[in-house]
Structure 1
Amino acid sequence: MVTRTLPQLTPARLREIAPYLSRWIATQVETRQVPGAQVAVRIGDELVLSEAFGVADESSGDPLTTDHLFRVASHSKTFTAVAVLRLVEAGRLRLDDTVADLLPRCADTPLAGATVRELLSHTSGAIRDGVDADFWVLDKDFLDPEALLAVVREHGAAYAPQEHFKYSNIGYGVLGAIIEQVTGRDYAEHVADDVVARLGLTDTHPELTDELDRRAAVGHTRAHGTGRDRRRVTIDQATTGALAAATGFVSRAEELSRFFGTLALGRRELLTDRTLRLMHRAEATFERGTGTGTYGLGLIGTTVGERRMVGHSGGFPGQITRTLVDPTDGLAVCVLTNAVDGPAESLAVGLVQLVDLLTAPAADWQALPDGVAPADLDRLTGRYVSLWGEMDIVRGGDRLVRLDPITPGPLDAKEELRALDATTLRVEDTDGFGAAGERIPFELDDDGRVTRVRVTGVSSWPEEVFLARRGEHWARGDAGSAQE
């Protein structure tokens, strides 16, 4: 069990670091050559960051905005889970009801004995998408209700209930059918009224329509080809039929973060805390490349540093998305990307890591010396560039840290710093190949602006200075010859 020692996070602290969060995302989108990313960060009801980077469509070059809609795909499962759990709270169904209890047409299928709880937690054993799932490559339409029933009847179970965690879009399609059976309403209508409208969300919808499509970011393949001819291909949109409960939703980062923020304890806008704790609790565990994850009732559980977080990911042809929320303090991060290789997961995790890094208190050894104030630290912050790349000096409270904005994770090359005086820093004492234990001196002009900084004796310059100094030499093809 992770013991939390994180300081209380406030909107004011988040607003202080939001400019750097924005710059880090912009750099990541540029260096990873992501077509576009839409990002939102909030705590509780307060939206602290909402920005878009890159383009909505590489073929047209239209810039991505915060108003563009994304296919958020499997985030739909969390909306479906909330709708089901609201019916449970209302006494209209039970988590231990079986598919056969609720859907008589499925009484003689392999999923007949699976419970609502098992469908929600992907422990029902249901097959993932069927044996012919080429709707995922847009070679056929997504399943309609009759086709979904046929898949359940003929290929419904890969395992027995509780035998394995087995992620299943078919299982959530069945949950959509259960919602319709219990409420007597179309799935999309019920969820839009009972969940989305309750939060006042106007750009979150259970399915894409032609009207919404005109506002949607365009999906892209990964880049194909060789050398300078590598390019992405745009991907058409598609509706999701009877699998809308698994993958149909469209939204924006602002609204998606608002919805997931309501799943933090104490909010009670959609569900009681008792039910929210049930959602958050692990019903199953699984191993992925990033470690052990959990799945509750419609929520993926993961650990980022000292934070135990819940949320969901989404993958639709050409769009990869991820939302994380801390159920304790309500920190919510949402990243939507419009490429099949979009790094939404690592960008969302990176933002959480940056939040915790830059809001952590200074260690005793980082206490400011006499005569040095936080304002003196601000003068040293910024991006510094050399032929070897970039480094960022960033203030977090009363201390500075050195980061490499290009590495996939913001903590990959992180170094804590201590101010020796108003123009000299010292790197923390650690084992390593870099500047551990060494001084970092800054040179300032008569106006108090940094003109140069040396790390392990090697110069870097403020970004604008470096580009001005090197530009003419690069134009002549002799970038390495400019020395000062």
Structure 2
Amino acid sequence: MHRRLPGVQVAVRSADELVLSAAVGVADAVAGTPLTTEHLFRIASHSKTFTATAVLQLVEAGRMRLDDPIGRYVPELEAGGSPIARATVRELLGHQSGVVRDGAHADFWQLGQPFHDRDGVIAEVLRAGVVHRRNEHFKYSNIGYALVGLAIEAVTGTSYVEHLRTAVLEPLGLTRTGAEYDPARADEYAAGHTGLLLGEDGRTTIEHVDTRAMAAATGFYSTAEELTVYGSAHFLGDERLLTDDSKRLMQRLESVVTAYGTEVGRYGVGMALVTVGERQLVGHSGGYPGHSTQTLIDPVGKLVVSVLTNAIDGPAEDLAVGLVKLIDVALQPRAEVPPPPAGAPPLASFTGRFASLWGVLDIAELGGRLVLVRPTLPDPLPAVEELEVVDTGTLRVAAQPGFGPAGELIPLERDADGRVASLRVGGVTSRPVEEFLRRRPAMTRQNGLGSS
């Protein structure tokens, strides 16, 4: 794990096919428990997409309106004279209500106190809940979503957790997803882990807790696989949960978020909007004490990518965006190269992970082609190179403008079993990682290579 993460769980779904489900690393860095695709992750603000979905279902059923003031469902706000009582459900879902983010006492985010219960949420709003006027600024608010959760309870006459189970999870057959921490399944959760501060090289596990009345904002747990099932229900044309009319409303642009003159995000009604290449994606990130997660959905191209990490500083967004970019490279070559010559060995015989003092590179087969990928870069796309098979022992980098070895040959050496034992990219030799590590000590001295 290049970034020293404990573990990563990832899944990719194309249309109705699960094309990738994988887990690497450990579920618990202290116990050393291997991470599996079945481990449960706290997915935090993904919960907002579930909450918005449940609201739109109630709107479709005529039981709620997006323009209803929240005071209709949480009468204590009206009785207490809070201006937030007039904020609409839609404004709360789109973070345009002006309500405080988490309240003045929010150390539940580092387990210093319990998450707010219903009375606590209402008390925070009544005490100092107004930060901006309605629709003055985009103001991300977990308290706002907690109020929407209370509204769902008022409309349905049942708990938020129970309603989400019957209205959203059961129709999709999701059995490893829930709206709140379930202590009966404690052994199934991946442990949360602290971030690495400057100079630190070890992590501490973080206890799981329930989020009480904040569940509508941050309570959910799931797996990457099940999140791709849920994400596919937001494809246009799939009406298991919502009509396309409602999905378009959730997914359309409500706010361009600009801070200090720079755009930092876009948001719809319960979903973030992200552009990757030519794809217009929706979805959400999630940050919970010990877990960092991201799910991206292409509702038109019918693709879902979900990445779950069990560290508070896990680069889930970078990994998810990088995966989408690599998927698009697989679908569309970055440059044209000649096909392999007759009698050339299978493309798989060229593939592998190789290392030099300058880092790691992968030769991978994508979409029936060979590409060179540098997997440790935050954005892998600029360094992806299309490769031509010249013969059994030679590749060539596609001829393109660039600062790297574009157009140059990559000589290979193979071992007795025909596997690639070394390759030279730009004249620098890379070897399978284990062999590179064996040779690395000699590479740190003048003329060290000659003595190995």
The TM-score, its normalising length taken from structure 2, stands at 0.92
Aligned partner of 2:229 in structure 1 is: 258
Aligned partner of 1:314 in structure 2 is: 286
Distance apart, 1:366 and its partner CA:
1.1
Relative distance call for 1:441 and 1:45 in structure 2 (3 A) is same
Distance apart, 1:382 and its partner CA:
2.1
Distance apart, 1:125 and its partner CA:
1.0
Cα distance in 2 for residues equivalent to 1:371 and 1:34: 44
For 1:456, give the aligned amino acid: G
Aligned partner of 1:38 in structure 2 is: 9
Cα distance in 1 for residues equivalent to 2:73 and 2:306: 35
Relative distance call for 1:57 and 1:478 in structure 2 (3 A) is farther
Which of 105, 113, 136 matches 2:109?
136
For 2:448, give the aligned amino acid: G
What are structure 2's unaligned runs of at least 5 residues? none
What are structure 1's unaligned runs of at least 5 residues? 1-29
Distance apart, 1:481 and its partner CA:
3.7
Aligned residues: 449
Which of 390, 398, 404 matches 1:434?
404
Asked if the contact 2:235–2:300 (Cα under 8 Å) also holds between the matched residues in 1, the reply is yes
Relative distance call for 1:294 and 1:388 in structure 2 (3 A) is closer
Distance apart, 1:126 and its partner CA:
1.1
Asked if the contact 1:390–1:404 (Cα under 8 Å) also holds between the matched residues in 2, the reply is yes
Cα distance in 1 for residues equivalent to 2:251 and 2:400: 37
Asked if the contact 1:279–1:297 (Cα under 8 Å) also holds between the matched residues in 2, the reply is yes
Asked if the contact 2:339–2:389 (Cα under 8 Å) also holds between the matched residues in 1, the reply is yes
The TM-score, its normalising length taken from structure 1, stands at 0.86
Which of 131, 134, 158 matches 2:131?
158
Cα distance in 2 for residues equivalent to 1:321 and 1:145: 26
Asked if the contact 1:208–1:250 (Cα under 8 Å) also holds between the matched residues in 2, the reply is yes
Distance apart, 1:464 and its partner CA:
5.6
Worse overlay, 49-58 or 337-346: 49-58
Is 1:348 the counterpart of 2:316? The answer is no
Worse overlay, 409-418 or 193-202: 409-418
Relative distance call for 1:404 and 1:483 in structure 2 (3 A) is farther
Aligned partner of 2:220 in structure 1 is: 249
What is the aligned-residue RMSD (CA, Å)?
Answer: 2.6
Cα distance in 1 for residues equivalent to 2:422 and 2:308: 37
For 1:296, give the aligned amino acid: G
Asked if the contact 2:443–2:449 (Cα under 8 Å) also holds between the matched residues in 1, the reply is no
Aligned partner of 1:23 in structure 2 is: none
Aligned partner of 2:448 in structure 1 is: 480
Distance apart, 1:235 and its partner CA:
1.1
Aligned partner of 1:115 in structure 2 is: 88
Relative distance call for 1:291 and 1:32 in structure 2 (3 A) is farther
Asked if the contact 1:110–1:153 (Cα under 8 Å) also holds between the matched residues in 2, the reply is no
Distance apart, 1:439 and its partner CA:
1.9
Cα distance in 1 for residues equivalent to 2:392 and 2:155: 68
Relative distance call for 1:33 and 1:383 in structure 2 (3 A) is same
Asked if the contact 1:86–1:271 (Cα under 8 Å) also holds between the matched residues in 2, the reply is yes
Aligned partner of 1:211 in structure 2 is: 184
Is 1:147 the counterpart of 2:120? The answer is yes
Asked if the contact 1:75–1:249 (Cα under 8 Å) also holds between the matched residues in 2, the reply is yes
Relative distance call for 1:207 and 1:444 in structure 2 (3 A) is closer
Asked if the contact 2:30–2:205 (Cα under 8 Å) also holds between the matched residues in 1, the reply is yes
Aligned partner of 2:195 in structure 1 is: 222
Distance apart, 1:478 and its partner CA:
10
Distance apart, 1:44 and its partner CA:
2.5
Distance apart, 1:90 and its partner CA:
0.3
Cα distance in 2 for residues equivalent to 1:247 and 1:330: 26
Cα distance in 1 for residues equivalent to 2:397 and 2:218: 48
Q: Residue 84 of structure 1 aligns to a residue in which SS?
A: helix
Asked if the contact 2:46–2:285 (Cα under 8 Å) also holds between the matched residues in 1, the reply is yes
Which of 151, 154, 173 matches 2:146?
173
- 1:105-155 deviation per Cα after TM superposition (whole angstroms, max 9, x unaligned): 222312121111111111111110111111112111111111111112222
Asked if the contact 2:12–2:305 (Cα under 8 Å) also holds between the matched residues in 1, the reply is yes
Aligned partner of 2:378 in structure 1 is: 408
Aligned partner of 1:85 in structure 2 is: 56
- 1:329-373 deviation per Cα after TM superposition (whole angstroms, max 9, x unaligned): 22111111111111111111111111111221474x413265366
Is 1:96 the counterpart of 2:67? The answer is yes
Asked if the contact 1:225–1:231 (Cα under 8 Å) also holds between the matched residues in 2, the reply is no
Q: Residue 153 of structure 2 aligns to a residue in which SS?
A: helix
Worse overlay, 40-49 or 162-171: 40-49
Cα distance in 2 for residues equivalent to 1:479 and 1:142: 60
Worse overlay, 89-98 or 394-403: 394-403
Relative distance call for 1:444 and 1:64 in structure 2 (3 A) is closer
Cα distance in 2 for residues equivalent to 1:35 and 1:180: 37
Relative distance call for 1:94 and 1:218 in structure 2 (3 A) is same
Aligned partner of 1:303 in structure 2 is: 275
Cα distance in 2 for residues equivalent to 1:250 and 1:267: 23
Is 1:454 the counterpart of 2:444? The answer is no
Q: Residue 31 of structure 1 aligns to a residue in which SS?
A: coil
Relative distance call for 1:445 and 1:141 in structure 2 (3 A) is closer
Distance apart, 1:209 and its partner CA:
2.5
Distance apart, 1:415 and its partner CA:
1.9
Cα distance in 1 for residues equivalent to 2:353 and 2:308: 26
Aligned partner of 2:360 in structure 1 is: 390
Q: Residue 111 of structure 1 aligns to a residue in which SS?
A: helix
Distance apart, 1:463 and its partner CA:
4.2
Relative distance call for 1:343 and 1:225 in structure 2 (3 A) is closer
Q: Residue 39 of structure 2 aligns to a residue in which SS?
A: coil
Q: Residue 185 of structure 2 aligns to a residue in which SS?
A: helix
- 1:130-186 deviation per Cα after TM superposition (whole angstroms, max 9, x unaligned): 111111121111111111111122222211111111100011011011111111111
